[in-house]
Structure 1
Amino acid sequence: MQAPWELEGSRITKEDKDSLIRLIDFDQKHNHYKALHFKLTMLMINIFIFTMAKYYFQFSVFPGSHPLIDVVFNERNIILDLFINVAFLFTTTLTNNLKEKAKSDFKSLKAEIVDLSNKEWYKKYDGANSEIFDYLYKTYKIRINHKT
């Protein structure tokens, strides 16, 4: 499905087209950081659980196969384990900040477009506005025809 602003004979101005494209980019960026944050959080939780289990239960992962595997997984080195957990905590916090920044950018641009759509949008694009709203919702699940 082609975007309504890219169709031949579209009356949508370049500024509005650029705003809609930026809105889609911000939404995709937010979704990317949200998925990345979730994956890193789950990885951090699994590493934390493995680290705690390593100190409470006697087990070994591929003993003697490689010295690096022995150092990371089999030996009880509290400094290394704390470093790995803190590194993942820092990375998760960083991705959370990036996710929140992308979310605020998306919401501010969306609010700007919604304010325009309530005032000027219906006057400028009388027939095309429902096509634009439907395209954005069906393709990207973005609603700009009302405030949320």
Structure 2
Amino acid sequence: MMEKIMLTLDEQVDEATKRMILHLIEKKMKYDHYKNTHFFILSFFILYCLTLLFICYTLIIVPNEYSIMKSITILLDKNHLIFLFLMAVFLFGALKFYYEKKEKAETEFHDLRCEIIDKSHDIWTEEHWSTRHRVFDEIKQQYDINLYYESK
């Protein structure tokens, strides 16, 4: 895929611009990776917590609904339930970690994309200005990167 981009850029831009566009594509792929991983962990975390809540409700809360203290005592006596709660805490930590990574990757990608948009008048000379739309469209179709506007 990147060879195809390089072929369309060969006659139109210099080596530095090619590297910027390739770096932009790499940032987009990194952002997409973190976004997909974060979504997967978030989905799993929600499903896990709902399952854990259902287990605790059916095994502890319902049989001991007359006493909150007895429910808490039974909950703390079961080692496997404590382990399951610790797993939920671990999943929450992983969720937060990947959220921060996703946000950082998105910021880096957006900043580089805006820099390319700002410098597009310097990158494409007058003779290549009309063909820049073809390159922008190709990048938009293949990698879903909008180089026309700075808004996300």
* TM-score in terms of structure 1 length: 0.79
1:89-131 alpha-carbon deviations (Å, 9 max, x no partner): 00000000110010000011011101001x3134263243112
1:1-148 equivalences under 5 Å are: 2-3=4-5, 5-7=6-8, 10-58=11-59, 77-117=80-120, 119-123=121-125, 125-148=128-151
The alpha-carbon deviation at position 134 of structure 1 amounts to: 1.0
Say how many residue pairs are matched: 130
Q: Relative to 1, partners in 2 of residues 1:23 and 1:8: Cα closer, same or farther, differing over 3 Å? A: closer
- Structure 1 residue aligned with 2:62: none
Measure the CA separation in 2 of the matches of 1:77 and 1:100: 35
Q: Which of structures 1 and 2 has the bigger CA Rg?
A: 2
1:54/1:76 contact within 8 Å kept: no
Gaps of 5+ in 2: 60-77
- C-alpha separation between the residues in 1 aligned to 2:9 and 2:56? 66
Distance 1:54 1:76, change over 3 A: farther
Offset of 1:8 from its aligned partner?
8.6
- CA distance, structure 1, for counterparts of residue 16 and residue 9 of structure 2: 17
Q: Is the 8 A contact 2:49 2:88 kept in 1?
A: yes
Alpha-carbon distance in structure 2 between the residues aligned to 1:53 and 1:137? 45
Identity %: 22
Residues 92 and 113 from structure 1, CA distance in 2 versus in 1: closer, same or farther, beyond 3 angstroms?
same
Distance in 2 separating the partners of 1:114 and 1:98: 24
CA distance in 2, matches of 1:17, 1:11: 10
Match of 1:71 in 2: none
For normalisation by structure 2, the TM-score amounts to 0.77
Distance in 1, Cα, partners of 2:45 & 2:145: 31
User: Between Structure 1 and Structure 2, which shows a larger proportion of helix residues?
Assistant: 2
Give the unaligned 5+ runs of structure 1: 59-74
- Secondary structure of the residue that 2:88 maps to in structure 1? helix
> What RMSD in Å do the two structures reach over aligned CA positions?
2.0
